[in-house]
Amino acid sequence: MKPINLLYSIDDSYVDQFKVTLFSVWQNASVKDMAVYVLQKKLLQRNAEIHQFCQQLGFAYFPVVIGEEAFKDAPTTDRYPETIYYRLLAHEYLPKELDRILYMDADILCLNDIVPLYHLDLSDKLFAAASHTSDTNIPELVNKLRLRNFEAEGYFNSGVLLMNLELNRQIVNHQDILAYIEKNSLLLFLPDQDILNALYGHKTLLIPDHIYNYDARYNILYFTRSSGQWDLDWVIKHTVFLHFCGRDKPWKKDYRGRYSALYKHYQHLTARVKSD
């Protein structure tokens, strides 16, 4: 059986958070044979640390160095660095023998088994992703008008992406992405995510966000949406990916979100891996 392929895109400042995410995946996965690919602009200074951590979990680790020039002209901010674009063109840098890979942001906590999602039938779709209309605070119809992607099932969040690499190699094009950025830079609120939705939203399979990309900022909205069913106990039992979107992060001392203790628990367990 092929290993489960995981994909991340981080810099040296996000290694600690990446390790918590990866540990939580390992802790809850029914299959432990995994290969971890990390997209990076240049070889991370903490590369040896990542390699050792993956070894301790029994994962294979493969750094994927993109280089200095790939997205030097793409719009970036402090919240959306150049590395966010790497996931859209991961197929150009990953080994050709890989047929699929699961990308996730490093501010995600995995609470349940990823294996069912990983083996989801993608058929003729490029990606599987969840829809978060709250990402831009813009109504879905306005997003469709803004990005002109009327065939898409929703506005997809790029924090969790199951990628059909074989089809990506045929359809997703570097020059198409750069051309779209150049033409529409003033319309892009969440740059790589807008590009995903504008160019490939119609080729993306919708998966439920309360299971595979639960936005921790909006637990009250989830609770209301489910008529009180999706409470803390339900999330711990059923949600696979708890995503700490936005500026407030659970590793910061001033974070007071509902899932703070849950994250800190996994943070504590991750720190023990080295000593154990």
pLDDT of 84: 64
The tally of CA atoms less than 13 A away on the side-chain side of residue 2 is: 11
Average pLDDT, the chain: 87
**What SS3 state is found at 147?**
helix
Strand order from edge to edge, sheet including 60-65: 60-65, 34-40, 4-9, 100-104, 160-164, 127-130, 204-207
Strand order from edge to edge, sheet including 241-243: 108-110, 241-243, 214-215
219-271 per-position pLDDT tens digit: 899 999 899 999 999 999 999 999 999 889 999 988 988 999 999 999 999 99
Residues of the chain under the 70 pLDDT cut: 70, 73-81, 83-84, 132-154, 185-191, 274-276
* 35 touches 59 (CB < 8 A): yes
Domains of the chain with bracketed CATH: 4-275 (3.90.550.10)
**What SS3 state is found at 55?**
helix
The answer to whether the pTM exceeds 0.85 is: yes
Return the closest-CA partner of residue 249 out of 12, 15, 17. Answer: 17
Locate 24 and state its tokens.
């939580």
Which residue bears the tokens 């045929």?
170
pLDDT of 68: 75
- E strands present in 53-178: 60-65, 100-104, 108-110, 127-130, 160-164
**Residue-wise over 99-110: b if at least 16 C-beta within 10 A, else e?**
ebbbbbbbbbbb
